Amino acid sequence: MTTIPELGLRESATFDRATIADIQRAAATGVYDIRGWGAKRHVPHFDDLLFLGASMSRYPLEGYREKCDTDVVLGDRYAAEPLHLRIPVTIAGMSFGALSANAKEALGRGASEVGTSTTTGDGGMTPEERGQSKHLVYQYLPSRYGMNPDDLRQADAIEIVLGQGAKPGGGGMLLGQKITERVAGMRTLPVGIDQRSASRHPDWTGPDDLEIKIGELRELTDWKKPIYVKVGASRPYYDTALAVKSGADVVVLDGMQGGTAATQQVFIENVGIPTLAAIPQAVQALQELGMHRKVQLIVSGGIRTGADVAKAMALGADAVAIGTAALIALGDNDPRYSAEYAALGSAAGFYDDFQDGRDPAGITTQDPELAARLDPVEGGRRLANYLRVLTMEAQTIARACGKSHLHNLEPEDLVALTIESAAMARVPLAGTSWIPGAM
Amino acid sequence: MVTLTADTSTVTDLSTSTVRELNQSLHSAADGQSWTIENPGGKHSLAVGIDADITVTLNGHAGYYAAGMHQKGDVTINGNAGVGLAENIMSGRVHVKGDASQSAAATGHGGLVVIDGNAGARCGISMKGVDIVVGGNIGHMSAFMAQAGRLVVCGDAGEALGDSIYEARIYVKGTVASLGADCIEKPMKPEHLDELAGLLAAAGRDDNPADFTRYGSARNLYHFHVGNSASY
């Protein structure tokens, strides 16, 4: 509870200042709030888990001597050309349109420097991104904006998107101010109009159809490319099982903290489940089908540190994906733009109006002057640095747990700090052997 | 089994060959070649991703995604086609002599899709430049969010035609059960009659363009506005 004792003031927990501002804004405009970023509410997360380092009963590895490998192979179930990444931290799908061409290029440069993949988004593949991305995953979305078979063939993997964590069950909206001539041309739409992305695919419905759709994509690419299926976390046990049944090589699971470029706030904050709660359900489905580690699981939504990477992998993920954190590494919400954030009615650390196209950091914009602020080479270098730190942090923890590969981390290495996180992550409450809800 | 006929058309019999073998050979084809596919048996993903100027004839029915993501050449289906016929076609020509199931030519970016019979629901959904000519009727929600291209219907159209349509143009000869949000009837100007005559001729039809009505976007939903919330 926030108080100002000297004035005798007490803020309502129910009607706090942000809530009051929301009501005032709704009353003034008659429109719901659309914004970027992911869920801002507090939910049980990786912070609520701790690792049990090695001691008498477990041998640690020497921190600066003994090898702890980090590579991952994605898509070897059916694809003739699976991805072999040096680190298990990938860059999540973000569109050219939502992001500037420079930002997309910077993501490609940073990811390629450390041997991981980046991902296209709604709006198709840009030459900048393909050219700078050693491993590029092509998102196959309901809108099919800019979709053409040549891009599918020149991608290194195909990700069929059913949903994302920020808005499971929702489509997309790119507001007119970001629909420049180039963006409009790629999407076959008039310049300057609001662009809606459908929430359902136009030519298939349900898992039986998806199996046939995956078959078509495999035929198109002569069975070479890994095919991912991405779902927003809502019913991950069933979605994972059905993705496996449909023939996916990889399942991508995005928790509710996963970011978005433009979604209704009410959607972001109230639909979907936390990443922490989603992972064990997906892993259970894979294990029951005998497909854990055969169909790889990529987890996204709130990954910030190497500890988060290690925890996701200990719970059973094969790799993780970052979006919001990658943008921050490029320069999003940098305090050096504080005056400009203030002019937009925001502040460094709070800016989430990615839909507006006026991003002072030049990342979530199509304005040429703003976009020019992001040097793709420098941005790529910063992202590569950040990815290296995530990897080294995860290795530090894995060695302490006695693991010679990040994949060897396991739920047994974890305990939970709260009853909620213990129940969701299905690991014991610290200091006990109690896993709430375990049969 | 693959055989070569006297006129150098390659014959693939899908009672003995696999879909994979067929598509792999089509992906290796050179311009000017021709294929005849026997016993397609409603199999899915037939002739997907053709990127050479070849002629392909399917004698029988095709399943989902026949001629999907077609880029070049002509495909003729002497039968019916399942869901997603010629979905995301880029250019070239796909001709179905029978009926097509739902989502025919979905998201097509270019080229021409001709369906002599009827097409199911969502014909031309999210079309992005493709031309579609349907000899019979089309189902509900056709041309939903249609962005560009032309949809010609020589029979009747089902409910919610052209819902949330952008810049695509629709010509219907028969009745329209209902129009979707932001789709309206528009006047037939000389340029539209010319355009329609060209499309009908390309599809090998002799319908009179003057018998058709044009539909397109009222462009009232191009920008989100709270006053339009009742339209969604």
> pLDDT tens digit string along A249-280?
999 999 999 999 999 999 999 999 999 999 99
Q: What is the pLDDT of residue B75?
A: 98
| Residue B36 in domain | no
pLDDT for position A31:
87
| Residue A289 neighbours by CB distance under 10 Å | 14
Q: Inform me whether the C-beta atom of residue A435 falls under 8 Å from chain B C-beta atoms.
A: no
pLDDT for residue A183: 84
Token pair for B155: 């029979």
**Beta-sheet pairing, A260-264 with A250-254:** unpaired
The residue segments making up the domain with residue B153 are 41-219
Size of interface A-B (CB pairs under 8 A): 106
Mark yes or no for CB contact A203/B71 under 8 Å.
Answer: no
pLDDT tens-digit readout, A68-105 = 999 999 999 999 999 999 999 999 999 988 999 999 99
For A186-217, write each residue's pLDDT tens digit: 888 888 888 888 899 999 999 999 999 999 99
Examine residue B91 and state whether it is found in any structural domain, yes or no: yes
Task: Collect all residues with Cβ–Cβ distance below 8 Å to A153 and sequence separation of at least 6.
Answer: A220, A221, A225
Query: Which residue is closest to B142 within chain A, CA to CA?
Result: A202
Query: What is the pTM for the complete model shown?
Result: 0.96
Q: Looking at the domain assignment, is residue B17 inside a domain? A: no
Q: What is the pLDDT of residues A13-50, one digit of tens each?
A: 999 999 999 999 999 999 889 999 999 999 999 999 99
Residue A186 and residue A96: Cα distance in Å, rounded? 10
pLDDT at position A314 is 98
pLDDT of residue A178: 77
**Is B30 part of any domain?**
no
| Dihedral class, residue A215 (left if φ above 0, else alpha if ψ from -120 to 50, else beta) | alpha
Give chain A positions within 8 Å (CB) of B103: 202-204
CA distance B214 to chain A (A): 20
Is residue B76 domain-resident? yes
Judged by CB atoms closer than 8 Å, whether chains meet at A212 and B44 is answered as yes
Residue of B14, B20, B24, B48 for testing the chain A interface, max A β-carbons within 10 Å: B48
Q: How confident is the model at residue A172 (pLDDT cuts 50, 70, 90)?
A: confident
Query: Minimal Cα–Cα distance from B206 to chain A, Å?
Result: 31
Structure tokens at A116: 């991981």
Domain A35-425 in this protein, CATH class: alpha beta
Q: Nearest CA to CA, how far is B220 from chain A (Å)?
A: 11
Taking contacts as CB-CB distances below 8 angstroms, the residues of chain B near A147 are 88, 107, 109
Query: Which of B50, B89, B107 has the most A C-beta neighbours within 10 Å, making it the best mutation to test the interface with A?
Result: B107
For chain A, give every residue range classified as CATH 3.20.20.70: 35-425
Per-residue pLDDT of chain B (232 residues; tens, 9 = 90+): 666 554 678 999 999 999 999 999 999 999 999 999 999 999 999 999 999 999 999 999 999 999 999 999 999 999 999 999 999 999 999 999 999 999 999 999 999 999 999 999 999 999 999 999 999 999 999 999 999 999 999 999 999 999 999 999 999 999 999 999 999 999 999 999 999 999 999 999 999 999 999 999 999 988 777 777 676 6
Q: How many domains in chain B?
A: 1
Euclidean distance between CA atoms A255 and A230, whole angstroms: 11
State the ipTM, two decimals.
0.95
Q: Which residues of A touch B51 (CB under 8 A)?
A: 149
CATH number for position B145: 2.160.20.60
Contact between residue A166 and residue A263 where contact means Cβ atoms under 8 Å apart: yes
What local confidence, expressed as pLDDT, does residue A384 receive? Answer: 98
The CA-atom distances, in angstroms, between B12 and each of B50, B70, B170 are 15, 19, 37
Q: Which two tokens stand for residue A326?
A: 């990658």
**Amino acid identity, residue A43?**
V
Within 10 A of A439 (CB to CB), how many other CB atoms are there?
3
Report residue A350 as tokens: 């709070």
Q: Which of B19, B25, B45, B71 to mutate to test the interface with A (most CBs of A within 10 A)?
A: B45
Mark yes or no for CB contact B129/A173 under 8 Å: no
**Cα A325 to Cα A47: distance, rounded to the nearest angstrom:** 16
Closest by CA to A213, choosing from A237, A238, A248, A187, is A248
Is the pLDDT at A180 greater than 90, yes or no? Answer: no
The DSSP annotation for A332-381 comes to: TT-GGGHHHHHHTT--TTT---GGGS--TTSSS---HHHHTTS-HHHHHH
Name every chain A residue with its beta carbon within 8 A of the beta carbon of B19.
Answer: 219
**Interface contact A212-B45, CB threshold 8 A:** yes
Nearest chain B Cα distance for residue A198, angstroms: 9
SS3 B188: coil
Q: What is the pLDDT of residue B232?
A: 64
The neighbour count for residue A83, using CB atoms within 10 Å, is: 26
For chain A, the maximum distance between any two Cα atoms, rounded to a whole number of angstroms, is: 72
Contact of B32 with B54, CB cutoff 8 Å: yes
Mutate to test the interface with B, among A122, A175, A219 (most CBs of B within 10 A): A219
- Contact assignment for B84 to A203 by CB distance below 8 Å: yes
Give the pLDDT confidence score for residue A20 in this predicted structure.
96
